[in-house]
Each structure stands twice: as structure tokens, then as C-alpha cells.
Amino acid sequence: MCPCHDATLFDLRDSWEAGYRHPETLKRATAVFMGPCQGKLCGKVAGDVIAALQGATEPEERRPSVRPPLFPVRMGDLAYEDESAPAGDRA
């Protein structure tokens, strides 16, 4: 289910049965949503499974928040210094 952390559907269901009923606690118990993709690969499936476990078509709670960056960023872009900015405004 989560190829980044080898979390399986069994792991998610087992954690649900152990009492982890909120997406944030499921995230901590299974590492779903925490891989390098930040849930891009497993988020939809995990949401569908959580909804099914809740007996609904949509999860009752929002998925856990993602951490920036949302998209890959080149290191050179982060280190770029804008030569045209005044000296006090440079990062």
C-alpha cells in the first residue's frame, strides 16, 4: 500500500483495530503518508481504506498535513541569491 515505507493494507487495518482511528495516529503507527512522496502514492488508497473502515465513502477526517516541499526543488534554486535585491533584502 505504501511503497516508500513497505506499509501494507494489513498494517493499516491492524493499527485501526488497535485503536488508531485518526489519520494522524494511523500515520504515526504505520508510516503511511510519511515517505519521500509525502502520501502522493498511497494517500488516495489510504483514504479509501480509512473511509471503508469507518463505514463511509469519504474519510471523516482530513488526511494528515504534508510537509514542504510539495514538489522537488533543485538545491541551486534554494541557494540562488538575487543580485538585483538591495543588500538588506537578500536571503
Helix axes 9-17, 23-30, angle to 10 degrees: 120
Each residue's pLDDT tens digit, 20-64 = 988 888 888 998 888 888 888 888 888 888 888 888 877 766 666
Q: Which one-letter DSSP state was computed for residue 82?
A: -
pLDDT of residue 16: 92
pTM of the model as a whole:
0.60
Q: Identify the residue whose cell numbers are 495516529.
A: 25
Q: Which residue has the higher pLDDT, 89 or 32?
A: 32
Whether 12 contacts 49, CB under 8 Å: yes
pLDDT of residue 27: 87
Helix axes 43-54, 23-30, angle to 10 degrees: 120
CA 57 – CA 14 distance, rounded (Å)? 20
